[in-house]
Chains A and B, each alone.
Chain A
Amino acid sequence: MKRSLRWAVMLGALIALVVGLTACGGSSSNSSSTNGSKAGEPTKVDLSAGKKGGKITFLAAADIDYADPGQTYYTFGFMVQQAINRPLYSFKPDDTTTPVPDLAAGPPEISADNKTITVKIRQGVKYAPPVNREVTTADVKYAFERSFSKNVPSGYAGTYFSSIEGTPAKPNTGDIKPISGITTPDKYTIVFKLKAPQAPLVSQALVMPITVPVPEEYAKPFDAKLPSTYDQYVAQTGPYMIQNDSKGKLVGRKPGKQITMVRNPNWDGKATGDYRPAYLDGVTIEEGNDQLEVASRRTLSGNGLMCCDAGSPPAQVLKSALTSNKDQIAFVPSGGTRYIALNTKVKPFDNLNVRKAVVAGFDKNALRQTRGGKLLGDIATGWLPPGIPGFEEAGGLTQGKQYDFDTKPTGDLALAKQYFAKAKAEGVPIGSNGLYNGPDKLLTIATNADPGKKTAEVAQNQFTKLGFKLQFRIVPQDTLYTKFCGVPSQKVAICPNVGWFKDFTDPQSMLDATFNGNNILQQGNVNWPQLDVPAINDAMKAAATTPVGTERNKAWAKINDMIIGQAPAIPWIWDKTALIASKDVKQVPNGYTTVQDLSFSSLK
C-alpha cells in the first residue's frame, strides 16, 4: 500500500468517526416523558358502538400458527380464531374472568359430583360457504375426537381434557376414534363425562378453540392425512371468514404474505345470539413486518392499521408515542407471571431460608426494566396475575404481603442477610460478610435472545451480589426448556427465563401444573422449581373440585399464599402488552387473547 494511500485511509476512518459522532450527537436524549399518570395502566375497554364498514390492515411479523382450531395455540392464532369461529364459550373484551356463552346457549351445567358437564348450543348457527349447514353438537364432539388423534396435534387437549372418559393417554393413530365420555343426546346438547371430579377446571377450559365445531363429513378427508390438511380448509362460523374457494380451500391465506378476511355471509349475529358487533367489512393481515420498530412507527403514522403480533412496540417507540400518540396506545394485562426458578432439589436452594434470602435480596425493579419498565408490567409478588380469577382474593398487586421477603421491589440486602443467618444455623455455608459462600458453581441456564438475555444478565449480577457463584450458560429459548429447565435430571439450579401464561382464566390452570409436586415430569416438566410440598399438593387436590366462583378463587388464593411462603422462585413481572393502532382506528383490546379484538375494533 502506498504511504499516501494509508494516510488517506487513516484520515478517512477518523473523519467518518467524527462525522458519525456529530450526527449522532444531535439525537442524544435519555429523557423520558410520559404524559399523564394513567400511562401503562390497563386501558378501560370502550365497547360503545363503532362505525360500520371499512377495512383494517393488521401488521404482523409472521403467519398465524394454524387456522385449524384443533391445533392453534398461540395468541395471534387465537386472535384470528376469535373472529372466524365460535367456540362454546368465549370472553367479551372487557371481562377476562367470566366467560360468556358463544356457541353455547347458556352456562355449563355441572353435576353435583363434579363429573358431568352438560352444554346446550344455540340453534341456527350456520357454517360459512361451502359447508353452509347448521352447527350441531356432533360437530363439537368430532372437534374433540380429532384433537386426540395423531393427525391433529393439539398443544393442550391432553393437558386440560384428559380427564374426559375415554380419552387416550397418547394421541390415537389412524382414523379418528370416538371418545366414549362425550355424548350428544340430541342435535343441540353435548355431555362430557369425566373420570375424576374435575368439572370446574374442564368447564372453564371450554373457551379453548378445541370447542370450535368441525363438520365431520367435510373435515374427514382432510383429517385422514398425517398431518391433517384441514388447516387449509377450515369450516368457519364467526362473523368473518378467511376467504375461501368453492371447495373450502382458504385461498385468502398466503403464509408469509397475508391473510384476507371477509364477512361470513351465513353469519347472523342477532338471530344466533352472537355478542360480537363485527363493524368492519374486512380485515387484512399483512405479514412480513418483522421489524417491530418499523411496523410500530408505520402504524402510528399511518391510516387504518393495527399492530403487532410480536409483542409490545420497542421502548423508544412507546416513549415517543406516549407523548404524541397517547390515544393510539392501549395496555392490556398479559395474564402471566415471569419468574426465576430456584431448583428446590439442588443445594443450596433445598434450604427454605436460602430461597427466602434470595427473594428478599433481589431487585425486581431492575429485572422489570429489562422488559420495558413499569409501563409494561407490574412487579409480581405472587403467582396469580391480574385478569385471573383469584387475583383479588390473593391480595391483588400486593400478594404475599404477610411475607417480609416478598415486599421490597428493589430488594432488601439486610433482610436477605437475616435469612442467610438462619440458613447458616442450618448448616448452609455463609461467609463473614453475611452472604452465601458455598463452593459450587450453580448451573444457570438462560436464553440467548433479548429481552430474556438481558433479564438473565441482571439476575446473574444479583446472584453474584448475594454471594453465589454461577456456571452461567446461554442457550436458545426452546433448548432452555427441552434440554435443561424442563429436564429434572439436568439438575439446573437456576432458570432465570421461565414464565407461565394463561391458557384460559382459571386459577388452577396457573398453579397446578407449575407448583404441584405430583406434576413433576422427567421430560417437559413445567414445575421448574420442582416444588413438592405435600400440604400444597393436598390443598390443590381439594381446591380442584371447588365450584367456579368466589370459593374456588379463595381456595386457590390460599394455595397461592402457601406457594409464596415456600419461595420456590422469584416472581418479578406481570406483563402488560401495549397495543397500537392508527389515529383513525378505534382499537378494542381483548383481555383474553391480549391482542386487539377484530370483531369489536372499527374505523373512527
Chain B
Amino acid sequence: MSTGASELLQGTGGVVGGPGDGEAEPAAAIAARSPFELFWRRLRRDKVALVALGFIALLVIVAVFAPLIVKLFGAHPPNDQNSAALDDFGSARGPGGGYLMGTDGLGRDVFSRTLYGARVSLEVALITAAVAVVIGVTLGLVAGYFRGWVDSALSRVFDVLLAFPVLLLALGLGAACALGNGCIAVNYDRTGQVLIVLGILTLVGMHGWNLLMTRRRDPDLPPLRLGEIVGRSIPGLLLLVVGLVLAVVVKKTNGALIQPGLPVVIFIIALANIPYMARIIRGQVLSLREKEFVEAAQSLGASNTRILFRHILPNLVAPIIVYTTLLIPQNILLEASLSFLGVGVQPPQASWGAMIADAATIFDTAWWYMTFPGAALLLTVLAFNLVGDGLQDALNPRSGQ
C-alpha cells in the first residue's frame, strides 16, 4: 500500500506545484487509495488488456444473447440442416445467399454455429476453472497448512495426476466416458440413501457430541449462537440434500455418473486443472503459514478453519485470479482439442473444436468452415491470455520489471 501511495504522490506532484499555488494547500490532495483502486489504476493504463477485456465482454454478450443475435441477423438456427443449401455433391456453400459465413457440410449456418460455439467454450472454460479453483484451492490450503501426512498424501495424488500428459489422460477418459452410456456407473438410489444416513449422522454428531462434551466440561457456557448452529449444520445438511436429490429426484436416471457430452469434457478438464491449482496454492500457503499474522491468530485461539479462510485465503487472491485467467484459455483450447479429436461435445451441439475437425478435410474447398470458428478460437484464447497478463501486471507490478 505504501508503494501505491508514493506513486500517487509522484503522479500528482505536477498539479501540486502548478499555477495557482503560493497559497499553502493542506495535504488534503494526498488521498489514500484502496488496493482495488491501485489495481484498477494500473490495469487502466494497460490498453492491450483493456481491449482484450472488451473483447471478452463482447464474447460473453454474444454467448448469452446468441439466439437473439441469430434472429437479428436473420440467420438460421444452429442445428437447422438445409440440404437445399448444398450442391449436387453435398458440398458446403460459401458465404452469401442468406448464410453470412456460409454453411457446413450438412447445410447448417456457420455464423449461428460459431456464435453458439462461444457458449460451449465459455461454459466449459468457466465451469472447469471454477471447479478447479474451489477444489484445488481447498486442497492446496489443507495440504500446505496442515503439512504432515495430509500434505504427503495429497501431494502424491497431485504427482500422479500431474504425471499424466493432460491430453492423453483427457483422451483416455474421454474415450471411456464419451462412448455409449458414459462412465462411472452409479446406483443413485443406494448412493442417495447412504448420503442421507451420513448427513443425519453428521448433523447429530456435530451438535449432539458438541453439546454433550462442552456442557459436561463447562455447564456455564453461554448457549450457541444461531450463526454457530448454522455453521456446524452445513456439512450434514449438504450431505442430506445431495442424498435426497440422488435418492428421490435422480433415482430414475439411467446410465453413468459422467454422461457423454459436456459433462465428460468438464469432468476431464477440471480433473486436469485441480493439481496445478492445488500445487500453486500449497506452495504459497507453506510460506504464509510461517508469517507473523498467522502466529498472532493462533495465539489468539483462532480455529484452523478461521485461519485458513479468514487470514490466509485473502492473501492468495492475487495468485488465484492470475492463475484462473490463465487456466481459462487453456481450458478453451483443451475443450476444442477434445472436440476436435471426437471425444468432446456430442452432435449436434456446436463447438469450435468439432467444427474445425469437420472442416479440416474440406478446407481447400470450404475455407469458411474452418476460418470462422478458428478465428473465434484464436481471438478468444488470445484475449484471455492478454487479460491474464494484464491482471498479473496490475496485481503484482513488480513482476513485469
Supplied contacts A17-B371, A473-B181, 13 more A-B pairs, CB within 8 Å: A3-B47, A17-B379, A24-B371, A27-B367, A28-B94, A32-B89, A372-B89, A373-B87, A450-B361, A457-B81, A461-B79, A472-B347, A474-B347
Give B178's nearest chain A residue, CB to CB.
A474
Per-residue CB contact flags for chain A residues 480-513 toward chain B (1 = under 8 Å, else 0) read: 0001100000000000000000000000000000
Alpha-carbon distance A428/B394, docked complex (angstroms): 64
Q: Does B282 contact A (CB under 8 A)?
A: no
Within 8 A of B (CB), among A431-452: 445, 448-450
Return chain B residues, CB-CB under 8 Å to A34: 88
Are A475 and B364 interface neighbours, CB within 8 A?
no
Are A29 and B347 interface neighbours, CB within 8 A?
no
Q: Which one of A17, A315, A374, A460 lies within 8 Å of B347 (CB-CB)?
A: A460
Are A454 and B106 interface neighbours, CB within 8 A?
yes
Alpha-carbon distance A6/B362, docked complex (angstroms): 33
Alpha-carbon distance A458/B367, docked complex (angstroms): 22
Give 6 pairs: A residue, B residue, CB < 8 Å, sorted on A: A9-B386, A10-B48, A27-B367, A315-B91, A370-B105, A473-B179
Known: A10-B386, A314-B361. A483 touches B180 (CB 8 A): yes
Q: Which one of A3, A369, A479 lies within 8 Å of B179 (CB-CB)?
A: A479
Alpha-carbon distance A271/B260, docked complex (angstroms): 64
Are A448 and B342 interface neighbours, CB within 8 A?
yes
Known: A363-B83, A460-B347. A374 touches B94 (CB 8 A): no
Are B181 and A369 interface neighbours, CB within 8 A?
no
Alpha-carbon distance A10/B92, docked complex (angstroms): 31
Give B93's nearest chain A residue, CB to CB.
A30
Within 8 A of B (CB), among A16-51: 17, 20-21, 24-25, 27-32, 34
Number of A-B contacts (CB under 8 A): 132
Alpha-carbon distance A448/B174, docked complex (angstroms): 13
Instruction: Name the residue among A17, A28, A445 with the largest chain B CB count within 10 angstroms.
Output: A28
Within 8 A of A (CB), among B243-258: none
Q: Does A425 contact B (CB under 8 A)?
A: no
Q: Which one of B89, B342, B348, B386 lies within 8 Å of A318 (CB-CB)?
A: B89
Distance (Å) between the CB of B391 and the closest chain A CB?
12
Distance (Å) between the CB of A418 and the closest chain B CB?
23
Return chain A residues, CB-CB under 8 Å to B180: 445, 473, 475, 479, 483-484
Are A460 and B348 interface neighbours, CB within 8 A?
yes
Alpha-carbon distance A32/B179, docked complex (angstroms): 37
Are B83 and A365 interface neighbours, CB within 8 A?
yes
Distance (Å) between the CB of A30 and the closest chain B CB?
4
Distance (Å) between the CB of A95 and the closest chain B CB?
30
Are B364 and A21 interface neighbours, CB within 8 A?
no
Within 8 A of A (CB), among B72-113: 79, 81, 83, 86-95, 102, 105-107
Q: Does A583 contact B (CB under 8 A)?
A: no
Alpha-carbon distance A21/B346, docked complex (angstroms): 29
Give B363's nearest chain A residue, CB to CB.
A24
Q: Does A138 contact B (CB under 8 A)?
A: no
Known: A24-B368, A473-B179. A372 touches B386 (CB 8 A): no
Q: Does A522 contact B (CB under 8 A)?
A: no
Return chain A residues, CB-CB under 8 Å to B181: 473
Q: Does A552 contact B (CB under 8 A)?
A: no
Distance (Å) between the CB of B149 and the closest chain A CB?
41
Give A457's nearest chain B residue, CB to CB.
B347
Distance (Å) between the CB of A521 and the closest chain B CB?
20
Within 8 A of A (CB), among B133-192: 178-181
Q: Does A62 contact B (CB under 8 A)?
A: no
Distance (Å) between the CB of A17 and the closest chain B CB?
5
Known: A370-B105, A461-B348. A17 touches B378 (CB 8 A): yes
Are A10 and B362 interface neighbours, CB within 8 A?
no
Give A7's nearest chain B residue, CB to CB.
B48
Q: Does A100 contact B (CB under 8 A)?
A: no
Q: Does A453 contact B (CB under 8 A)?
A: yes
Q: Does A110 contact B (CB under 8 A)?
A: no
Within 8 A of A (CB), among B320-358: 342, 346-348, 358
Alpha-carbon distance A24/B94, docked complex (angstroms): 11
Q: Which one of B92, B102, B375 lies within 8 Å of A17 (CB-CB)?
A: B375
Alpha-carbon distance A71/B358, docked complex (angstroms): 35
Return chain B residues, CB-CB under 8 Å to A474: 178-179, 342, 346-347
Return chain A residues, CB-CB under 8 Å to B375: 17
Distance (Å) between the CB of A197 and the closest chain B CB?
43
Q: Which one of A316, A374, A454 lies within 8 Å of B365 (CB-CB)?
A: A316
Known: A24-B368, A454-B106, A461-B348. A6 touches B87 (CB 8 A): no
Give A40's nearest chain B residue, CB to CB.
B88
Are B179 and A371 interface neighbours, CB within 8 A?
no
Alpha-carbon distance A476/B107, docked complex (angstroms): 24
Return chain A residues, CB-CB under 8 Å to B89: 32, 315-316, 318-319, 369, 372-373, 375
Alpha-carbon distance A207/B106, docked complex (angstroms): 40
Known: A17-B378, A369-B83, A479-B179. A3 touches B46 (CB 8 A): yes
Known: A10-B48, A13-B379, A370-B90. A28 touches B367 (CB 8 A): yes
Known: A363-B83, A460-B347, A475-B180. A371 touches B90 (CB 8 A): yes
Return chain A residues, CB-CB under 8 Å to B32: none
Known: A21-B371, A370-B105, A472-B347. A13 touches B378 (CB 8 A): yes
Distance (Å) between the CB of A479 and the closest chain B CB?
7
Q: Does A131 contact B (CB under 8 A)?
A: no
Q: Does A562 contact B (CB under 8 A)?
A: no
Give A12's nearest chain B residue, CB to CB.
B382
Alpha-carbon distance A254/B46, docked complex (angstroms): 62
Per-residue CB contact flags for chain B residues 268-306 toward chain A (1 = under 8 Å, else 0) read: 000000000000000000000000000000000000000
Return chain A residues, CB-CB under 8 Å to B49: 6
Return chain B residues, CB-CB under 8 Å to A20: 371
Distance (Å) between the CB of A376 and the closest chain B CB?
8
Alpha-carbon distance A448/B107, docked complex (angstroms): 19
Return chain B residues, CB-CB under 8 Å to A461: 79, 81, 106, 348
Q: Does B389 contact A (CB under 8 A)?
A: yes
Known: A461-B79, A473-B346. A31 touches B371 (CB 8 A): no
Are A458 and B48 interface neighbours, CB within 8 A?
no
Are A32 and B91 interface neighbours, CB within 8 A?
yes
Alpha-carbon distance A484/B375, docked complex (angstroms): 38
Pairs of residues from A and B, 4 with the lowest C-beta to C-beta distance, nearest first: A369-B90, A24-B367, A366-B83, A315-B89
Return chain A residues, CB-CB under 8 Å to B367: 24-25, 27-28
Return chain B residues, CB-CB under 8 Å to A1: 389, 400
Return chain B residues, CB-CB under 8 Å to A450: 358, 361
Return chain B residues, CB-CB under 8 Å to A28: 94-95, 367-368
Are A29 and B378 interface neighbours, CB within 8 A?
no
Return chain B residues, CB-CB under 8 Å to A473: 179-181, 260, 346
Q: Does B51 contact A (CB under 8 A)?
A: yes
Are A366 and B386 interface neighbours, CB within 8 A?
no
Within 8 A of B (CB), among A452-469: 453-454, 456-458, 460-461
Are A13 and B382 interface neighbours, CB within 8 A?
yes
Give B91's nearest chain A residue, CB to CB.
A315
Are B364 and A10 interface neighbours, CB within 8 A?
no
